[in-house]
Amino acid sequence: MLDNAWIIPAIPAVSFFLILFFGKRIPTKGAAIGITALGASFVLSCVAVYQWIDRVESATGGKSSGLAAFGRSLVTHGGETKPVVEPVLHHVTWWSNAGIDFGVGIRMDGLAVMMLFVVTLISLLVHIYSTAYLHNDIRYTHYYAMLSLFSAAMLTLVVADNTLQLMLGWEGVGLCSFALIGHWWEEGANSKAALKAFFTTRTGDIGLLIGVTVLFWAARSFDIGRINAYALSPRADHSMMLVAASCLMLAIIGKSGQFPLHTWLPDAMAGPTPVSALIHAATMVVAGVYLGARLYPVFWNGFSIGNGGVNFMVLIGGITIIIGALLAFVQDDIKKVLAYSTISQLGYMVMALGAGAWVAAVFHLFTHAFFKALLFLGAGSVSHSGSHHSFDMKKDMGGLRKFMPITFWTFIVGTLALAGIFPFAGFWSKDEILVTAGNSGYDFFLIVGLVGAFLTAAYMTRCVYLTFFGEYRGHGHPHESEPVITVPLIILAVFAVLAGFLNAAAFHIEKFASWVEPRVAFPELVHPAFDYPKAAISLSIAAIGIGVAAFFFFKREKLGKLNGLTERNKVAHAGYMFLVNKYYLDALYENVIVASIRGGIARGSYWFNQHVIDGVVNGTGKGTKAVGQWTYEFLDRKVVDGAVNGTAEVTAESGGLLRYFQAGRVQRYALYMFAAVGLLALLLLIANI
């Protein structure tokens, strides 16, 4: 399966066309095709995962099971050498010019295999979930077609062995998220949100385009393996790598919702909730982090990650953690709370990448995918059956735990995992990020991470309180959702609990590190041991966060003066308004940047359009007309007609001549025959053969 992993993205791509062309004519309106395709992809991904693990384990030697790992000392602690496990490569050249190869291919290593598993699993669950959530939707078939294409694009990106293919998948993901966010485009706000998502990520895509070009000129190749090897070799040009890494970082900022281009992500909540789950957990936003993980040596060299200094990547990640988490406090829309939480969690991943904690970043990506998908699908379940298609926690929710027990408990699991409570998945990955960041000399960012953990725990408690506790404030008849919705929740909840144990450093289980971390063309990473004091601090900080928020919401009357602080105190109110207005970033973008474009640049473009482009167009039109006239008069009339008429005339003339030989007299024919034979005989005689 590893050799033929191209099948995994190919199946949903085919399914896209099948749904588009035949979806409306079959009973399930295309949902069955999508679910089958993703199911097949998921099974194949599982096979790929199994084969990859087998490959790593057989290279390592003993087929040690998870239990056997208990007895071993830390696999990677100190300078223990690990056997080289080559990635499985398969490349088809489309065309090549001057030794530069353009083509498509697959690069299967631990990272790609891990992503295949996550993407196909979550996409499959979203497909299933959507059958209930979008029941009787007007563009149901179209929705499924786009979901399939979305998965196909992301999988193409994941398996890519060259930067061009990566870009193809990247743009495909952007396009599909645009289409899906704007799924209900009849409402102006939704289509606006879709456009915003598209244009904001496009800003980052420019960075990707330039970064890929710079990398090509530096490494003379589009091949990811060669680029990575080049970035780590001594002949690598550091300034080139710095430019490339900065440009790629811009792409990550745009795609993964990092500060200051994070504003599209909360607006992207306009799409259907399962799409939000897919975008936030497995496809769109993690594409940026995946890019960072994929071309990590470029960042390693460009940003000098190894020497412990503050760099662009770690700084952006750190800022994003805090600003995302703070914004989550002032949201009344449950999905927007989760959206800002995603921004903040992606900040953790980017910060971890910047701090040299590659394994921790990828591990957090892995665990985050499960609990974030779980939380989003939970929020969808609430709005589907609890709050009458509203996402407003303050107006339409509250007290839902009694009505929707499964949704409630799975949501609690997701919340605990997100807050980083032992033993849920988020604890292990977040803890690893913090420990590795601290050990690599990024103490300041360790503190940023801890503050982020506190904020995360607090805003999630607020969210849970507003949604599930207190009195029901809506006007519908809340009830538990149907099994199509709850079963994916339960599956994801199981993963949210267990996924962390793949790399539970406290128990000396480092499966994730040994399976996923590349061993070829990859920097030497530090893998610190589990740090009990740090883990205890982060755990207690998260617990305090939950406690403070719970105290605030459950015991409101005891707060006394603090109650309603934001309404009375000027400073607090200003801070509150600052957050509600999202740091005025949207205002900056819309009123300053967009307005200036709309004013000067738009007028300039209009002039350019009227004079230059229209001139070119009209000139082209006139030129085309003249050429057409000439073609008609000369080519058509004289050459083509002449040829046709000439053929007819030649035929007629030759027929007229030949008819004299067709006298109908047998003896005349016999005469010709004998004359010809006689002539041939004469010829033979002369030629003397």
Partner 1 sequence: MTLNNFLILSAFLFCTGLYGTLARRNAVLVLMSIELMLNAVNLNLVAFSAFRENVTGQVFSLFIITIAAAEVGVGLAIVLLIYRNSRSVDLDQADQLKG
Interface residues with partner 1 (CB under 8 A)?
Answer: 658-659, 661-667, 670-671, 674
Complex with partner 1: residue 81 or 667, whichever CB lies closer:
667
Q: Helix, strand, coil proportions of the chain in percent (round to 5)?
A: 75, 5, 20
Contact call for residues 378 and 392 (beta carbons, < 8 A): no
Complex with partner 1: residue 235 or 665, whichever CB lies closer:
665
Complex with partner 1: residue 188 or 664, whichever CB lies closer:
664
In the complex, minimum distance from the CB of residue 623 to partner 1, in angstroms, rounded to a whole number: 54
Contact call for residues 142 and 184 (beta carbons, < 8 A): no
In the complex, minimum distance from the CB of residue 655 to partner 1, in angstroms, rounded to a whole number: 9
3-state secondary structure of 405: helix
Residue with tokens 């645009």: 178
3-state secondary structure of 216: helix
> Which residues are bridge partners to 89 per DSSP?
107
Complex with partner 1: residue 78 or 664, whichever CB lies closer:
664
Complex with partner 1: residue 555 or 659, whichever CB lies closer:
659
Q: d(Cα 157, Cα 267) in Å, to the nearest integer?
A: 24
- DSSP string spanning 253-304? HHHTT-TTSTTHHHHGGGS-HHHHHHHHHTSHHHHHHHHHHHTHHHHHHHTT
In the complex, minimum distance from the CB of residue 644 to partner 1, in angstroms, rounded to a whole number: 25
Complex with partner 1: residue 22 or 674, whichever CB lies closer:
674
Complex with partner 1: residue 559 or 671, whichever CB lies closer:
671
Assigned token pair, 386: 């609890």
Which of 461, 448, 435 is CA-nearest to residue 545? 461
In the complex, minimum distance from the CB of residue 660 to partner 1, in angstroms, rounded to a whole number: 8
Angle at 173 between CA 172 and CA 177, to 5 degrees: 120
Complex with partner 1: residue 189 or 663, whichever CB lies closer:
663
Alpha helices in 397-442 (DSSP H): 405-419, 425-439
In the complex, minimum distance from the CB of residue 653 to partner 1, in angstroms, rounded to a whole number: 15
Which of 486, 478, 462 is CA-nearest to residue 377? 486
Complex with partner 1: residue 643 or 677, whichever CB lies closer:
677
Q: d(Cα 18, Cα 26) in Å, to the nearest integer?
A: 11
Contact call for residues 88 and 48 (beta carbons, < 8 A): no
In the complex, minimum distance from the CB of residue 635 to partner 1, in angstroms, rounded to a whole number: 38
In the complex, minimum distance from the CB of residue 659 to partner 1, in angstroms, rounded to a whole number: 4
Complex with partner 1: residue 561 or 659, whichever CB lies closer:
659
Q: How many CB atoms lie within 10 A of CB 684?
A: 10
Q: How many CB atoms lie within 10 A of CB 598?
A: 11
* HSE of 685, CA atoms in CB hemisphere, 13 A: 6
Complex with partner 1: residue 578 or 672, whichever CB lies closer:
672
In the complex, minimum distance from the CB of residue 662 to partner 1, in angstroms, rounded to a whole number: 3
Q: How many CB atoms lie within 10 A of CB 652?
A: 10
Non-local CB neighbours of 522 within 8 Å, separated by 6+ positions: 228, 232, 296, 297
In the complex, minimum distance from the CB of residue 647 to partner 1, in angstroms, rounded to a whole number: 21
Q: d(Cα 320, Cα 260) in Å, to the nearest integer?
A: 8
Strand 88-97, strand 100-108: pairing? antiparallel
Which of 292, 411, 311, 402 is CA-nearest to residue 355? 311
Complex with partner 1: residue 84 or 657, whichever CB lies closer:
657
In the complex, minimum distance from the CB of residue 641 to partner 1, in angstroms, rounded to a whole number: 30
In the complex, minimum distance from the CB of residue 652 to partner 1, in angstroms, rounded to a whole number: 14
In the complex, minimum distance from the CB of residue 657 to partner 1, in angstroms, rounded to a whole number: 11
In the complex, minimum distance from the CB of residue 640 to partner 1, in angstroms, rounded to a whole number: 32
Output DSSP code: residue 86: P
Residue 261 — φ and ψ, nearest 5°? -100, 25
For the chain, the residue count is 689
Complex with partner 1: residue 631 or 662, whichever CB lies closer:
662
Contact call for residues 19 and 130 (beta carbons, < 8 A): no
Cα dist from 295 to 56, 149, 465, 480, whole Å: 21, 25, 41, 45
Complex with partner 1: residue 532 or 661, whichever CB lies closer:
661
Question: Which one-letter amino acid corresponds to residue 424?
Answer: F
In the complex, minimum distance from the CB of residue 632 to partner 1, in angstroms, rounded to a whole number: 40
